[in-house]
A and B are shown apart, each in its own frame.
Chain A
Amino acid sequence: MNDLFGNPKAPRGETDDAGSIAVPRPGTPAPAVVDIDAPARHARAKPGDRRETGMPQESPETSQPPTPAPWNEVVRDALARNDFRLVTYIPDNVLRPLIETVEADPFFTVFATTREEEAVGIVSGAWMGGMRGVVLMQTSGFATLPNVLASLAVPFQIPVVMFVSERGTLGEFNIGQALVARTMRPVLDALAIEHHTCSRLDELDFTVDRTLRQAVATQAPAALILSPLLTGGKVFKA
């Protein structure tokens, strides 16, 4: 069971092992207003629907305005539309809905690696072999990547697209995450890697779709930073 923004639904007060809880984005509509678990939401994509067009769909059975897809489904559909079949990841609580969404779709080849730079190597090899791919990671994992980006993805002109779930800001409870997060954008800027911060659901499809296309067209790596404003992030449960 996921909420509107793709976060697993948990009873109030339920925490994970780290003593934290994934929370929905502020302003999430109450379930009474929009039934986000309606069967149509989870139906497989058909030609002409959102996966093809990126546009919200009118619900045929009600007069309600179209329900926006949760962020994880928007990302999945943009990946599929642009033929990015390989999804490598180093897991993270915030990324969990996206990992589960692509794992449930046989279009994708999805697996975990032991390190982020290993995943960048795998995606680089796959792209040279004709298969497009992405790496999902957390901010702290991105901090392990400057060497592989500077020695492989950038100079060899390989479009490795990185999705980074942003820790270290907007309610961070771990000082190490807060510190290492500040290295991320300066590293991306220093290597002249295209990057965008995704904080709004209504802009997400456009940003992901165009970034994937540009990475391929310009043969350049890119990073999409998934803000807590989009995903709900991860906060300490006091």
Chain B
Amino acid sequence: MSPPAAPSCLTNAKSMYRADITRRLVRLLDREEAVIGGIGNTNFDLWAAGRRPQNFYMLGSMGLACPIALGVAIAQPQRHVFALEGDGSLLMQLGSLATIAARAPKNLTIVVMDNAAYQITGAQPTATAFAADLVEAARGLGITRSNWAADEEDFERLVQVARNEGGPTLIGVRLDNQPPAGQTERDPAQIRDRFMRGIGTKPPHPT
């Protein structure tokens, strides 16, 4: 079954390049914000955008970028936390948006990288290739600050608004089908240890 045209609510949003969007996000981070990269290409492009000690790279546990980010946001209410999640991943754990809306952490922003496909497994279409709209879904689950980024500049504006005015916020980004710009090093214990030192839970490594 070939997907029909994207829902009309999405047609005004530009299709953007995930690696570029991720680099734009990372460039805006000047307050040691935590970033949780969801499984797969979302994660790989976060890695490729430059290593930050405040980045957590999830391996496996598909769909849990938002719950992990919620946990960090609850533990550290003074630090802004970003969850980067793909459309397929978010569809797997939509209930987590309802939990986030119920807890309403001001310091949490979700960025949905929506290419309407399970790109890493052969670009099979996800439900967003048909009729599902994850920004509308987030609103329906209680995250009222939920918007599509019209283009790259609009994305940067939405990130600034989310960080300055408080959330929880969801930013939808329509993507083109370009491949990721790198691949995360798979060393879970080291990823976790660096992240905990990066967000001050453990002391920084002596240099």
Contacts and interface: CB of A to CB of B under 8 A. Distances in A.
Interface stretch (B44-52, B65-73, B174-182): B65-73
Contacts of A115: 93, 95
A130 B75 contact: yes
B26 interface: no
B60 A152 contact: yes
Nearest to A128: B196
Contact of A131 (B34, B74, B79): B74
A31 interface: no
A124 B71 contact: yes
A91 interface: no
Interface residues of A, number: 32
Contacts, number: 120
Interface of A: 86, 109, 111-115, 117-131, 133, 147-148, 150-152, 155-158
A133 B191 CA distance: 20
Given A118-B96, A122-B68, A126-B74, A147 B192 contact: no
Contacts of A111: 99, 102-103
Interface in B184-203: 188-189, 191-192, 195-196, 199-201
Contacts of A112: 99
A130 B76 CA distance: 8
B74 A122 contact: yes
Instruction: State the majority secondary structure of interface residues on B.
Output: helix
Given A111-B103, A114-B98, A151-B60, A156 B74 contact: no
B56 interface: yes
B62 to A, nearest CB: 8
Given A129-B199, A151-B59, 19 more contacts: A113-B99, A117-B93, A118-B64, A118-B95, A118-B96, A120-B64, A121-B68, A122-B68, A124-B68, A125-B72, A128-B56, A129-B74, A129-B79, A130-B201, A131-B71, A131-B74, A151-B61, A152-B68, A156-B192
Interface residues of B, number: 37
Nearest to A115: B95
A14 to B, nearest CB: 31
B36 interface: yes
B58 interface: yes
Contacts of B63: 117
B167 to A, nearest CB: 16
B70 A125 contact: yes
